Amino acid sequence: MAVATQVLQSEWTKIKSVRSTVWTLGLAVVVTVALGALISALSKNDFDKLSTEDRINFDPTFTSFAGMGLGQLAMIVFGVLVVSNEYSTGMIRTSLAAVPQRGTFLFSKIAVATLLALAIGMITSFVAFFVGQSMLGEHKASLGDPGVLRAVIGGGLYMTLITVFSMGVATMLRSPMLSLGILMPFFFLVSSILGNVSATKKVGQYLPDQAGHKVMQVVTVGDDAPYGPWGGFTIMVLWVVAALIGAYALLRKRDA
């Protein structure tokens, strides 16, 4: 138990001592809140121009999370840097020599980063919601409305899971450039294409980001997804678990 505590403290020290990881978390908050506020303000101005169908489908809660797409970019970078910094500097050899129990090493690194990502994710989600709703004026939603609190909490959980998934991938690939070179196109290009092309839409619905987005939605009129908010969240969790299993299996098998 004492060893695990020391490893956790060590991982915390590593994270807070690297400025780039701290800056990426701050950037995630700023980008998500600012862009969400901008889109919410524009949505308020254009609301009267919407068709009847679009007004029915309008989701004020999800609108305030419009910046989450760019915010998750920073969380992906954070997750990759937490893992890959040690590989790029060669410090991974020292770390594994100090903590030969690779399961303990990986668990500690992921646990500390996950708790930090969860705290930042929740703060970001709640701030983005309240700021966004203030911009929407009379079209805003209340935290007490059905499904809204779940969606706001879900936003924080989504950002956390994105971070953990990125950490799992980065552990498997070991290279920050390769990890970002795969994760960025996957979430910002491949997922969008698969989700918007009719022939591949059913496949795209089961990708981690698209499934995870469901937990942040309150209005689901016309939504043809074969699962609900928590069903989508569960699919995203399964992706994260698979990434972590792969990370542990490869870390245990190969040399530093």
Contact of 141 with 60, CB cutoff 8 Å: yes
Question: CA–CA separation, 21 vs 33, rounded Å?
Answer: 19
Is the pTM here over 0.85, yes or no?
yes
How do residues 64-112 score in pLDDT, each as one tens digit? 999 998 999 999 999 999 988 787 777 777 777 777 788 888 888 999 9
Task: For residue 190, give the DSSP letter.
Answer: I
Encoded amino acid at 217, one letter: Q
CA distance 155 to 79: 17
Give CA–CA dist 34/38, Å, rounded: 6
- Per-residue pLDDT reduced to its tens digit, 144-186: 999 999 999 999 999 999 999 999 999 999 888 999 999 999 9
